[in-house]
Structure 1
Amino acid sequence: MENNTRPNKAEEMFLNLAYNRFYDLYEEIMEDSFWDKDSYYRFTKINSMFTVYAELLNYEPLKHVIKIIELKRPPMESNIAKELFKFIRNTMAHFPFFDSWNEVYVNKEIINWYKKGMMIDKFLISYEGKEEVKYRFWHSKKKSMTYLSIKFPTSYTAGENIYLKDILNEKEGIEFASILMKKVLDTQVIENS
């Protein structure tokens, strides 16, 4: 009889490494002093956080969490927690030519240089012209509310550069992304008393 208990031994090893790394990055990014660091330092940490999160989304129970978010949370939250964050991760991973968040861009030609219809291309085709999504989040340490907008490209045509900073600004956008990612990942954490 096969043991289907989750997590299995391999998953547990992976999850321990990934969760520890994610929470370390989260804690650092949420500190005010993080934003005083140079842009390259910030970019490497942000890139790592999106990479770890995207890898964790391969864990089957987290796929179910995304489906629950789709059913029970405000419209677009599951799309942002999965598709937008994977788009950002894939953009940084497949086009590692930049040293800061504000420099990162893609365009239709670069995205499709090798093959059309891959994840980044599909995302931009799907979200081209979609209305911006407005969010707010509470900073418990600062006792303040932050407001932000996620803006999808108005067009995805040849010759037009699409910057990550125009979709999600660096400081508030990354803090928001960090909080949403953490909420998704926290669903699989058993707290010890």
Structure 2
Amino acid sequence: MNNTIRPNKAELEFLQIAFNRFYNLYEEVIEESFWDNTPYYRFSKINNVFSVYAEILQYEPIKLVIKTIKRQRPPMEAEIASDLFKLIRNIMSHFPFFDSWEEVNVTQNLINWDKEGKSIDKFFTKYAGASEIKYRMWDAKNKKMTYLNIKFPNTYNQSSIIYLRDILSEKEGVLFSIALMKNVLDTKVSPL
């Protein structure tokens, strides 16, 4: 039996900073006025949200939440909440060449410039040609339904140019993403 108390001191320090940062970014991004900012400003904040969330995904209890989602929620929701969101973070982190969501694109050569088989390459190899996923989400604050499609590239080969905007739209896609991220993280929030 493992007698490790979770969170331990180091985890608690990390979780306090990471969760506070995520929820602060979340509150900013869900405001309608956020979308009036410049594309570069929005992209910077969106990049931060995906980066913070990807780091939190390393926490073992959050990994267990993802496993639970895989068993209990609709097909592909766990993969979106983990694999897709990590992919987005990895693209923005490893290819910091862009100033807006609309510009972000990668090719197989760019992805594998150093070595084949890393996480981005594995994702596109696994999901290229997968069926589009359709979601709808209710925005209680603005009392409206938003419809969204997550589209995987049809092909992943030497001639493919993959735009992030074609996988997930900026506004609706990001709002959906942070809502799903928040649902995952809310399962582990407790008073500190």
What's the TM-score, normalizing by structure 2?
Answer: 0.98
- Distance in 1 (alpha carbons) for counterparts of 2:190 and 2:136: 27
Q: Say how many residue pairs are matched.
A: 192
After TM superposition, the structure 1 stretch with the greater mean CA deviation from structure 2, 144-153 or 183-192, is: 183-192
Tell me the CA shift for residue 167 of structure 1. 0.1
- 2:102 maps to 1:128: no
What is the identity percentage for the equivalent residue pairs of Structure 1 and Structure 2?
60
| Partner SS state of residue 75, structure 1 | coil
Q: For residues 121-159 of structure 1, what are the alpha-carbon distances to aligned partners after superposition, in whole Å with 9 as ceiling and x for unaligned?
A: 000000000000000111111011101000000000102
Q: 1:41-60 maps to which residues of 2 (within 5 A)?
A: 41-60=41-60
Unaligned runs of 5+ in 1: none
What's 1:188 paired with? 188
Q: 1:1-193 maps to which residues of 2 (within 5 A)?
A: 3-190=3-190
| Partner SS state of residue 136, structure 1 | strand
- Distance in 2 (alpha carbons) for counterparts of 1:35 and 1:81: 23
- Distance in 1 (alpha carbons) for counterparts of 2:49 and 2:190: 21
The runs of 4+ residues in structure 1 deviating greater than 4 Å are none
Q: Which residue type is aligned with residue 103 of structure 1? A: E
| Partner SS state of residue 22, structure 2 | helix
Unaligned runs of 5+ in 2: none
Tell me the CA shift for residue 190 of structure 1. 1.8
| Partner SS state of residue 12, structure 1 | helix
What's the TM-score, normalizing by structure 1?
Answer: 0.97
- Distance in 1 (alpha carbons) for counterparts of 2:18 and 2:140: 25
Tell me the CA shift for residue 3 of structure 1. 5.0
- Distance in 2 (alpha carbons) for counterparts of 1:48 and 1:173: 15
Alpha-carbon RMSD across the aligned residues, in angstroms, is 1.3
- Distance in 2 (alpha carbons) for counterparts of 1:136 and 1:17: 31
| Partner SS state of residue 134, structure 2 | strand
- Distance in 1 (alpha carbons) for counterparts of 2:82 and 2:156: 21
Q: For residues 81-105 of structure 1, what are the alpha-carbon distances to aligned partners after superposition, in whole Å with 9 as ceiling and x for unaligned?
A: 0000000000000000000000000
Q: Which residue type is aligned with residue 55 of structure 1? A: E
